[in-house]
Amino acid sequence: MSWGTCDLCDRYVDRIRVPTPIFRHYGGRTTFAGEIVTITCFEDNVFIREAAVEEGRGRVMVIDGGGSLRSALVGDGIAEWARDHGWAGMLIHGCVRDTVALAKVDLGVMAIGVNPIQPGKKRVGARDVPVTFADVRFLPGEYLYCDEDGVVVATERLPEP
């Protein structure tokens, strides 16, 4: 990696958006980037599970869980599926679980909290729709960059500084 989110902000300040810094790293990879695939769901992870077993092609799942802290949307099992299918990472406006095991999975995973309760499986949600959280609107096909300093969103893939 020759980019960092700070470098991207310095060079492309007029072409990027930076979400409110409410996310923490939980996966085994702290630096990741890729084209955005959006999922919206509330206390239900069926759409996430389905996406995790598709070819990720280096993309990033941006998951709007409504900011719920009442159950987790992703644990080590889903993260392992996503890693095995070539996803770069996940940005979750919700919780994760199995954090000790999750930290060993070579996948970028950022979320707002932890909860040991598993979510519902009623297929509540949607995929590839605009989602808004942390004061940023995320659109499918945009690009997300994450590292230890934060998250940056751009409408297109940015040239490395």
Query: So what's the pLDDT on residue 36?
Result: 98
Which residues have CB under 8 Å from 40's CB, separation 6+? 63, 64, 66, 125, 126, 127, 129, 131
Residue ranges, the chain, pLDDT below 70: 1, 161
pLDDT for the residue 5 = 97
What pLDDT is recorded for position 21? Answer: 98
The domain spans of the chain are 5-154
For domain 5-154, give its CATH number from 3.30.70.260, 1.10.150.120, 3.50.30.40, 3.30.930.10. 3.50.30.40
